[in-house]
Amino acid sequence: MAKSAIALEGKTGRRISLKKMSHFGYWLNMLYRIFVYALLLDLIFVFLYPFLYMFVTSFMTDADLVDTTVKWVPRAFHYQNYIIAFKYMNTLLGLRNSLIQTGLSVLGHILSCSFIAYGLARYKFPGRNIMFVIVLFSFIIPAQTIIVPLYMNYSRMGWMNSILPLIVPTFFGFGLRGGLFVFIFRQFYMGIPNELEEAALIDGCGSFRTYLRIILPISRTSILVSAVLAMVWHWNDYFEPAVYITKPLQFPLPKMLPGMYAQMKLVKEAFVRDPITGQLYPKILNEAVVMAGTVIVILPLLLAYLLLQRYFMQGIERTGIVE
Amino acid sequence: MKRRGLSIRKRRERDGYIFVLPWMLGCLFFFAGPLVQSFRLSFSKLTKVAGFQMEWAGFENYMKAFVYDVTFIPMFLEVVRNMFVNTPLIVIFSLFIAILINKNIRFRWLFRVVFFFPVLLGTGYVMQELLGYQVDQQTMEVARGILLPQEMLQYFGPRISQIVQLFLDRLTIILWKSGVQILLFLAGLQGISSSLYEAARCDSATEWEMFWKITLPMISPVILLNIIYTIIDSFTDAENPIIDFIYNTAFVVTQFEYAAAIGWIYFIFIFIILGIVFALMKRYIYHTGR
């Protein structure tokens, strides 16, 4: 009788297939495999598409944009778009601001959230469960609910138009999605064996030294995961920076993107006046330049992710981050 | 013999408090304090904007939100509707993709790198630019072309193809928003020991059965976590009209007290929804005894 294929995939990844089948079963299996691979191709495509689009469009000229036959391969690599975007986005300044803001925030998150989570996870003291619930609340409550008093407090303290309101909370376990990182670290710390700390205690480590020398080095996975997430979220954050920073010289890089239009307005040659309606039309700002701008904004993040990606995924696949 | 100093337990407690001290300070200044202030603010009226002076106004702001302001309720309903539609789809799809990445398929390495890409786009300016150029719809058009040819859909009749169309239109956005969920599921899948699967295979279970009897129960806590995360994510999303509305109300029109009231309504609602979800799902969480 005909049996269908049973493909066993062992942990080693080798495919051991027992094929005892008729032709019909064989073709059915082939169809199934084709379907699955088409589905996978689709998924990869959906994930990659925005990047491909951004990248390809950024090299197009005006003519290419209007030309409907040109979709994936521009006529030539019109890299001038990048120069234009670079100039009008005040890229170096924005990059500097973003790097400082994101870098310090990530540092703050890693240091404070692991510290706090360690205390919550491994030390029993009255109130620790309530505190953890409040930590979760800090993640659930959107920043919009408390933005007004925060704005009032910060302006009273003179912190407006600086990166302080964005960075200082991260060193205390708050900030953008800080509660989530405390959660991640806590789950991880709850899973480490007691023997580790007991050995440290026997060797004479106090609590802080145990944290610094023993716990922190083994938390590499959680640190990586938190770092990547914090980096991505802080780099692309637009709500809080928009509230606290209003001087264009201190905008982070993503905020410079919509500012391109305003910047171009200051330059005479960038616009043409339509003789009939009297409206201003941007002469050099087109979709390609905007896309070049977005590529510039995303590029540092993309590079950082590609560099960290391997350790990031390896860490997750080995130890996991949640119990 | 008198012991000086604290007992070991008391010492541990003290150390615990020291670890948590930064958080407690932060909570006071960056969370609880502003929360209370915001609460008070939502019940008052600003007399002088510059000096932030307030006077008590009772429920006036809340009444304004529900009764007077025509734009608030429809926006709110739209946000809620989006949440209800997107959340199950995101959770289901991210589970599917996480399982896919976990298995040994040929292009697995590519998946592992690529699935996180849309998260890099974030939900801020870059995303807004892309959506402005309707990249998400373009993606769907091409992807749809590969998988499901248009002609086949038309064959099924207008009703079904309409539903499928609606579904596929959202699909791109849903997949783009699934990055972190896929991550969480991947981590959760690691926690399932392979011996369970081996034992099941010995008892001749099929892949389908193994999914329902082993995988799903073992990651049910992660499913709950993902549902909660997705709900929160959709509520604090940048394209969310309510978020924009609060920003405008607070900083463009400078009606701080109204913005505070709306923020609180929003939060209470999220809280209620999460409470319901949690209560409903608690029955289905399979607890692996620790």
Domain CATH number, residue B259: 1.10.3720.10
CA B90 – CA A159 distance, rounded (Å): 39
Residue B202 lies in a domain: yes
pTM score of the predicted model = 0.83
Residue with tokens 């991880």: A188
Query: CB within 8 A of B202, min separation 6: which ones?
Result: none
Contact at CB, A13 and B26, closer than 8 angstroms: no
Query: Please, how many CA atoms are within 13 Å of residue B23, restricted to the half-sphere of its CB?
Result: 30
B154 and B26 in a common domain: no
Position A7 scores a pLDDT of 46
Closest CB to A140 among B191, B222, B274: B274
pLDDT per 10-residue tile (average), chain B, 290 residues? 73 88 90 87 70 68 75 83 87 88 77 85 72 70 62 67 72 83 87 87 86 87 89 78 76 77 84 88 66
Q: Is A313 on the interface with B (CB under 8 A)?
A: yes
Closest CB to B125 among A13, A38, A257: A257
Sort out which chain B residues have CB atoms less than 8 A from A229's CB and list them: 180
Contact at CB, A237 and B124, closer than 8 angstroms: yes
CA B88 – CA B266 distance, rounded (Å): 21
Tokens in use for B221? Answer: 């806590």
Position B2 scores a pLDDT of 58
CB atoms within 10 A of CB B272: 10
B171 and B64 in a common domain: yes
Give the chain B residue nearest A191 (alpha carbons).
B290
Position B151 scores a pLDDT of 62
Contact at CB, B117 and A51, closer than 8 angstroms: yes
Give the chain A residue nearest B222 (alpha carbons).
A322
CA A323 – CA B15 distance, rounded (Å): 25
Give the B window 206-265 contacts with A, CB below 8 Å: 221-222, 225, 228-229, 232, 235-236, 238, 242-243, 246-247, 250-251, 256, 259-260, 263-264
Q: Give A282's strand partners.
A: A271
Give the A window 34-63 contacts with B, CB below 8 Å: 36-51, 53-54
- Select the residue from A14, A47, A133, A147 to test the B interface by mutation, using most B Cβ atoms within 10 A: A47
DSSP state of A169: G
Residue B48 lies in a domain: no
For A44, the 3-state DSSP assignment is helix
B165 and B88 in a common domain: yes
CA A131 – CA A311 distance, rounded (Å): 32
- HEC string for chain B: CCCCCCCHHHHHHHHHHHHHHHHHHHHHHHHHHHHHHHHHHHCEEEEECCCCEEEECCCHHHHHHHHHCCCHHHHHHHHHHHHHHHHHHHHHHHHHHHHHHHCCCCCHHHHHHHCCHHHHHCCCHHHHHHHHCCHHHHHHHHHHHHHCCHHHHHHCCHHHHHHHHHHHHHHHHHHHCCHHHHHHHHHHHHCCCHHHHHHHHHCCCCHHHHHHHHHHHHCHHHHHHHHHHHHHHHHCCCCCHHHHHHHHHHHHCCCHHHHHHHHHHHHHHHHHHHHHHHHHHHHHCCCCCC
Position A18 scores a pLDDT of 52
Q: Which residue, among A107, A109, A118, A125, has the nearest Cα to A186 in the 3D structure? A: A118
pLDDT per 10-residue tile (average), chain A, 323 residues? 43 49 75 79 82 82 67 74 80 88 93 92 88 90 84 86 88 88 89 87 87 87 89 86 82 79 64 63 70 86 89 75 54
CA A184 – CA A187 distance, rounded (Å): 5
Residue A115 corresponds to which amino acid? F
Residue B114 lies in a domain: yes
**Residue A202: C-alpha distances to residues A206, A211, A241, B177 (Å):** 10, 15, 48, 47
DSSP state of A268: G
B208 and B171 in a common domain: yes
Q: Which residue, among B85, B92, B80, has the nearest Cα to B226 in the 3D structure? A: B92
Q: At what angle do helices B72-102 and B256-281 cross, to 10 degrees?
A: 40
Query: CB of A46 within 8 A of CB of B100?
Result: no
Residue B53 lies in a domain: no
B94 and B19 in a common domain: no
Rg (chain B; Cα; Å): 25
Closest CB to A9 among B104, B171, B183: B104
Residue B168 corresponds to which amino acid? L
For A58, the 3-state DSSP assignment is coil
Give the A window 68-107 contacts with B, CB below 8 Å: none
Residue B222 corresponds to which amino acid? V
Q: Is B204 on the interface with A (CB under 8 A)?
A: no
Give the closest-approach CA distance of B213 to chain A in angstroms: 19
B102 and B223 in a common domain: yes
DSSP state of A12: T
Number of structural domains chain B divides into: 2
Query: CB within 8 A of A264, min separation 6: which ones?
Result: A88, A270, A271, A282, A284, A285
Residue B290 lies in a domain: no
Q: Give B161's strand partners.
A: none
Q: Is A193 on the interface with B (CB under 8 A)?
A: no
Give the closest-approach CA distance of A257 to chain B in angstroms: 7
Contact at CB, A207 and B194, closer than 8 angstroms: no
B117 and B36 in a common domain: no
Q: Give A272's strand partners.
A: A281
Query: CB within 8 A of B121, min separation 6: which ones?
Result: A50, A236, A298, B127, B130, B176
**What's the residue count for chain A?**
323
Residue B243 lies in a domain: yes
Contact at CB, A144 and B33, closer than 8 angstroms: no
Position A107 scores a pLDDT of 94
Sort out which chain B residues have CB atoms less than 8 A from A43's CB and list them: 97, 100, 111, 175
B273 and B159 in a common domain: yes
CA B240 – CA B275 distance, rounded (Å): 22
Residue B154 lies in a domain: yes
B246 and B118 in a common domain: yes
Give the chain A residue nearest B234 (alpha carbons).
A142
Position A9 scores a pLDDT of 46
Position B289 scores a pLDDT of 46
Query: CB of B127 within 8 A of CB of A294?
Result: no
- Select the residue from A155, A172, A190 to test the B interface by mutation, using most B Cβ atoms within 10 A: A172
CA A39 – CA A34 distance, rounded (Å): 8
Closest CB to B112 among A302, A313, A321: A313
Tokens in use for A227? Answer: 């770092």
Give the A window 273-312 contacts with B, CB below 8 Å: 287, 290-291, 293-294, 297-298, 301-302, 305-306, 309
State the pairing for strand pair A271-273/A280-282: antiparallel
Reported as a single tens digit per residue, the pLDDT across A243-299 is 888 887 788 888 777 777 666 666 655 566 666 666 666 666 677 788 888 888 888
B247 and B133 in a common domain: yes
B141 and B104 in a common domain: yes
CB atoms within 10 A of CB A77: 11
Tell me the residue range of the domain where B25 lies: 1-42
CA B84 – CA B227 distance, rounded (Å): 11
Residue B250 lies in a domain: yes
Contact at CB, A144 and B247, closer than 8 angstroms: yes
Between A and B, how many CB-CB pairs are < 8 A?
Answer: 285
Closest CB to A119 among B19, B31, B264: B19
B65 and B36 in a common domain: no
